[in-house]
Amino acid sequence: MENVQNYLSQVSVLIVDDYYSSVNALTMMLENKGYNVRKALSGELALRSVRENPPDMILLKINIPDMDGYKVCEILKSEKKFRKIPVIFINTCNDTLDRDRVFDSGGVDYITMPFNYKEALARVETQLKLQFMQRGFEGLENKVMKRNQQLEEITAELKEFNVILGDEITERTKTEEALKESERQLRYSLEVQQKVEEERKRLYEIAEYDRIKTEFFSNISHELRTPINVIFSALQIHELKLKNCSCKNAAEYKYKYTKIMKQNCFRLLRLVNNLIDITKIDSGYFDISETNHDIINLVEDITLSVADYIEGKGLSLVFDTDVEEKIIACDPEKIERIIMNLLSNAIKFTPCGGSIMVNIEDGAENICLRVKDTGRGIPENKLDTIFERFVQVDKSLARDHEGSGIGLSLVKGLVELHGGTISVKSKVGYGTEFIIYIPCKLVDEHNEKIVVSEAVGERCIKKMNIEFSDIYK
């Protein structure tokens, strides 16, 4: 490509036309592209200019005073030296164009005045590129001819060598047999080495799996112990407060510690549910029940059901959509779980005063769901593994949030069960955006009735209590 551009920047073009405005327009167009432009106002001047300094291309007006352009082209093509110069004829809109004669006289194309700038330039560039390629082909042909000649010489030499080598055939045969045996031994050695390398790789993978498994169970142990200990502590305080019923704020204390116990029960329930579901997905036993739903209404209801909770955390929540209704096949319960999980992450990692946006974009083949926050973001080296099982961005014991590293892996599994995809874009300090694409398909239902998503109500409240149970801030 660079060679073509270098060639185009060095070409010279001869314009043969007696009409100054046409010449000026063509000159300006070609010089803007970096071409060297020359001009001739008659056929005789054109022939003289070509013979003195052959151009790379000629733009030749058909009707010029001293002789017509067809004659000029025929004269040039009769001389071997100029036969390969491409000629593009210029025809005015008032003249009748004889297309047969354009090509019979040796022309390669034509343009009509007044011309379309892009069309004219494209025709010129096309012929120049063809000329460049033709020159390249000719160079290759010359190289091929030289190579063939060299091959013929080499062939003759080889015949002479074959005569000399005839007496050494027996010795060569013995040498070849010895080489074959050495090759067999080398191949066997390489196969053994390859097997050793594969075994070493397998052992490394096993060790890596064991390390991840150990790390996971260590984390799960911590995750299970923490809510249980909190429940026990809350129960102990609860019992102490109940012993002293004369306390003015007894009811307030009972509500406070009961709430702590419930939250940690929800947290244990979420962890157990996620473990069971991720195991079912791995085993191929997790099914979704797809029915035709208005996905816009469904996602909006889920989002607005947690609006008060999010705003209570000092965050703003924005829901936006570019379409008011879109019926697709989906499992509403699993969609709730996906959205709740992503909103839970956004709440955990977005500081007070930040924003969470849920957007829906319509498409011909897919519906796009976007959950975006202005939180702390994800390091670039963690983006490729964020959906892997048991992966946590912050594994330190001093982290300011809780989690088992299963949630996003489960979300990915639920999205893929819908035939969709999920990806993430993030920048540290600017926030994170999860992008989900779900196919716009419908399922056949026995009652042939489209299901409109029911009001979320208490169901989403319970889901929110479970999915948001590890948010303590």
pLDDT of residue 137: 78
pLDDT tens, per residue, the chain with 473 residues: 557 677 777 888 999 988 888 888 888 888 888 888 999 988 888 899 899 999 989 998 888 877 888 899 999 889 888 888 999 998 887 777 888 888 888 888 888 888 888 888 888 888 888 888 887 777 777 788 888 788 888 877 777 777 787 777 878 788 888 888 888 888 888 888 888 888 888 888 887 876 776 566 556 656 665 776 677 677 667 767 766 655 556 556 666 666 666 666 666 666 667 677 777 777 777 788 999 999 999 999 989 888 888 898 899 999 999 999 999 999 998 898 899 889 988 998 899 999 999 999 998 899 999 999 999 999 988 888 888 876 655 554 334 455 556 788 889 999 999 999 999 999 999 999 999 999 999 998 654 444 444 444 556 655 666 666 566 55
Which residues are CB-contacts of 206 (< 8 A; sequence separation ≥ 6)?
none
* CA–CA separation, 117 and 26 (whole Å): 9
* CA–CA separation, 267 and 258 (whole Å): 14
* CA–CA separation, 31 and 34 (whole Å): 5
Q: Do domains 2-115 and 187-283 have the same CATH topology?
A: no
CATH class of 2-115: alpha beta
pLDDT of residue 118: 86
Tokens of 368: 């796009």
pLDDT of residue 396: 45
* CA–CA separation, 320 and 297 (whole Å): 11
Tokens of 414: 């639920």
Tokens of 236: 């102990």
Give the residue from 318, 325, 324 showing the smallest Cα distance to 304: 318
Using an 8 Å Cβ cutoff, are 409 and 337 in contact?
Answer: no
The secondary structure of 282-317 as a DSSP string is HHT------EEEEHHHHHHHHHHHTHHHHHHTT-EE
Helix (H) / strand (E) containing 466: helix 457-467
CA 391, 394, 396, 398 torsion-angle sign: negative
Tokens of 248: 């003015």
Q: Dihedral, CA atoms, 110, 114, 117, 119, nearest 10 degrees?
A: -40
CA distances from 284 to 119, 277, 459 (A): 59, 10, 27
Using an 8 Å Cβ cutoff, are 60 and 88 in contact?
Answer: yes
Using an 8 Å Cβ cutoff, are 445 and 333 in contact?
Answer: no
How many residues does this entry show for the chain?
473
CA distances from 457 to 304, 337, 464 (A): 11, 15, 11
Tokens of 464: 């929110």
* CA–CA separation, 413 and 124 (whole Å): 56
> Alpha-carbon Rg of the chain, whole angstroms?
40
Using an 8 Å Cβ cutoff, are 441 and 239 in contact?
Answer: no
Tokens of 201: 């790789």
CA 179 to centroid of chain Cα atoms: 50
CATH no., domain 187-283: 1.10.287.130
* CA–CA separation, 112 and 115 (whole Å): 5
Using an 8 Å Cβ cutoff, are 86 and 127 in contact?
Answer: yes
Q: Where are the domains of the chain?
A: 2-115, 187-283, 291-467
* CA–CA separation, 195 and 206 (whole Å): 16
What are 293's strand-pairing partners? 328
Tokens of 241: 């407060």
Largest CA distance in the chain: 123
Architecture of the domain defined by 291-467 = 2-Layer Sandwich (3.30)
pLDDT of residue 164: 81
Q: For helices 250-283 and 169-243, what crossing angle results, to 10°? A: 160
Helix (H) / strand (E) containing 370: strand 366-373
pLDDT of residue 34: 85
pLDDT of residue 314: 93
CA distances from 34 to 54, 81, 278 (A): 18, 26, 64
Which residues are CB-contacts of 414 (< 8 A; sequence separation ≥ 6)?
288, 334, 337, 338
Tokens of 103: 């090509």
Residue whose token pair is 């540290």: 428
* CA–CA separation, 356 and 319 (whole Å): 9
93-99 contact pairs (CB < 8 A, 24+): 95/62, 95/63, 97/62
Using an 8 Å Cβ cutoff, are 330 and 290 in contact?
Answer: yes
3-state SS assignment for residue 338: helix
